[in-house]
């Protein structure tokens, strides 16, 4: 088993009120007053107050735009090359800032043995892992790998990889960094997928430091992982490359799938860990959207406030894809560290992504 001994999070510099993003989207998507009214209704009921982006334009007047064209129709519309350039110009800087916060007071940069980078919103070769290594002057012999294009559940996949590494290497110091700039992939065609993506997604970064369970540092011990795939939902959540950027499919059927299938997944995961629902003290659910959180609550009959940290992250940051669940886990970690009277804690975490894939973990605090 392995232990998370530190979690750090960060966001790009541009903070956007959800109302400002709504105005930006309204100007692009709404053809008449009826469509505008429907769009504003969706934004009011999104459960999101603010989001962060590497792009300042969502709160600017057209003549002030830096990424999009200053024209009313955004033409010429940003192509894939421009989007990837913005990713490469900004991803390493935010990743390094987050990593430095994560390892501060825990290890030096020369003690890093493994680096796992995670992203589904930007790709290049040499990639983010090598950019981070060079800029931080990390040891050149470290093991490195990348988790790409897995979407919102990718952080759990990375935790699983790190757990396997730590379990087999006594002195491993494994760094995971999840960096996503979802807002680079705004699409202007009026479709429910594009409207939903523009409504929910945001940018952010999270870093995790993991060591063997026997470390003297307090932390979150990862005990079990369990995953399942509902192939009937493979067309309802997807992520494709195009010349105009990455294209998101996120149908309104996803919350229904989650509500229908999550109880069975949850039961299997508990059986795999030899635990019962009563053993779980903290819930770390990926806030993919307000309806998804409500579907989870309904599916397994969770008491009120069980998902308070998931709702809080959704409200303050939106859905940042892979880092989002680590934002939630960080809040749980902070609560446990600040409450020494709590004699035990079992955390159940879950996230969803293309497939429809559902990944879970069970952890304890010690």
Span 257-310, pLDDT tens digits: 788 888 999 999 999 999 999 999 999 999 999 999 999 999 999 988 999 999
- 188 is a domain residue: no
pLDDT(255) > 70: yes
Picking from 308, 303, 286, 45, the residue whose alpha carbon sits closest to that of residue 159 is 286
The pLDDT of residue 124 is 86
Residue range(s) defining the domain that contains residue 296:
220-365
Rounded percentage of the chain residues whose pLDDT exceeds 90: 78
Span 110-136, pLDDT tens digits: 999 999 999 999 988 889 999 999 999
Question: If pLDDT is split at 50, 70 and 90, which confidence band does 248 have?
Answer: confident
Question: How deeply is 284 buried, as exposed, middle or buried, from its count of CB atoms within 10 A (0-12, 13-18, 19+)?
Answer: buried
pLDDT(178) > 70: yes
Question: If pLDDT is split at 50, 70 and 90, which confidence band does 326 have?
Answer: very high
CA-to-CA distance for 161 and 127, rounded, in angstroms? 19
Q: Does the bond joining 126 to the residue before it have cis omega, within 30 degrees of 0? A: yes
The pLDDT of residue 254 is 76
Widest pairwise Cα distance in the chain: 63
- 249 is a domain residue: yes
The pLDDT of residue 236 is 62
Which has more confidence, 170 or 362? 362
Span 16-51, pLDDT tens digits: 999 999 999 999 999 999 999 999 999 999 999 999
- 181 is a domain residue: no
| CATH number, position 242 | 3.40.47.10
CA-to-CA distance for 135 and 139, rounded, in angstroms? 11
pLDDT(173) > 90: yes
> Rounded to whole angstroms, what are the CA distances from 274 to 153, 159, 358?
23, 20, 19
- 40 is a domain residue: no
Strands, E assignment, the chain: 2-10, 14-17, 50-53, 114-119, 143-148, 174-181, 203-212, 220-229, 237-242, 245-250, 282-285, 346-353, 357-365
- 160 is a domain residue: no
β 174-181/203-212 pair status: antiparallel
- 281 is a domain residue: yes
CB 263, CB 350: distance < 8 Å: no
Which has more confidence, 337 or 179? 179
Enumerate the β-bridge partners of residue 143. 114
163-178: average pLDDT: 95
CB 120, CB 138: distance < 8 Å: no
Total structural domains in the chain? 1
Question: If pLDDT is split at 50, 70 and 90, which confidence band does 161 have?
Answer: very high
The pLDDT of residue 234 is 64
> What is the sign of the dihedral through the CA atoms of 191, 13, 7 and 116?
positive
pTM of the model: 0.95
The pLDDT of residue 97 is 98
Supply the DSSP symbol for 319. B
> Rounded to whole angstroms, what are the CA distances from 31 to 36, 173, 197?
7, 54, 19
- 317 is a domain residue: yes
- 354 is a domain residue: yes
């Amino acid at each position: 088993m392995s232990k998370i001994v530190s979690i750090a999070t960060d966001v790009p510099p541009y903070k956007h009120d959800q109302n400002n993003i709504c105005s930006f989207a309204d100007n692009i998507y709404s053809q008449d007053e009826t469509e505008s009214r429907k769009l504003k209704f969706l934004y009011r009921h999104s459960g999101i107050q603010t989001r962060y982006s590497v792009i300042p334009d969502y709160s600017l007047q057209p003549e002030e735009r830096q990424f999009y064209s200053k024209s009313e129709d955004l033409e010429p519309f940003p192509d894939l090359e421009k989007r990837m350039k913005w990713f490469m110009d900004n991803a390493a800087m935010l990743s390094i800032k987050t990593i430095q916060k994560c390892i501060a007071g825990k290890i030096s940069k020369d003690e890093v043995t493994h680096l796992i980078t995670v992203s589904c919103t930007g790709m290049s070769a040499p990639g983010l892992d090598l950019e981070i290594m060079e800029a931080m002057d990390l040891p050149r012999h470290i093991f490195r790998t990348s988790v790409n294009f897995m979407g919102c559940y990718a952080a759990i996949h990375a935790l699983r990889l790190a757990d396997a590494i730590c379990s087999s290497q006594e002195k491993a110091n494994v760094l995971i960094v999840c960096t996503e700039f979802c807002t680079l992939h705004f699409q202007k065609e009026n479709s429910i997928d594009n409207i939903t993506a523009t409504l929910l997604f945001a940018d952010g970064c999270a870093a995790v430091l993991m060591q063997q369970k026997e470390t003297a540092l307090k932390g979150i011990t990862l005990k079990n992982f369990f995953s399942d795939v509902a192939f009937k939902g493979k067309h309802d959540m997807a992520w494709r490359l195009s010349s105009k950027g990455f294209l998101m499919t996120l149908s309104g059927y996803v919350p229904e799938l989650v509500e229908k299938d999550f109880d069975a997944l949850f039961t299997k995961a508990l059986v795999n860990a030899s635990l019962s629902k009563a053993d779980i003290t903290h819930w770390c659910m990926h806030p993919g959207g307000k309806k998804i959180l409500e579907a989870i609550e309904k599916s397994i009959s969770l008491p009120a406030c069980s998902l308070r940290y998931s709702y809080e992250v959704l409200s303050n940051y939106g859905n940042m894809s892979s880092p989002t669940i680590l934002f939630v886990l960080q809040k749980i970690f902070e609560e446990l560290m600040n409450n020494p009277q709590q004699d035990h804690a079992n955390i159940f975490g879950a996230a969803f992504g293309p497939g429809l894939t559902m990944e879970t973990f069970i952890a304890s605090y010690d």
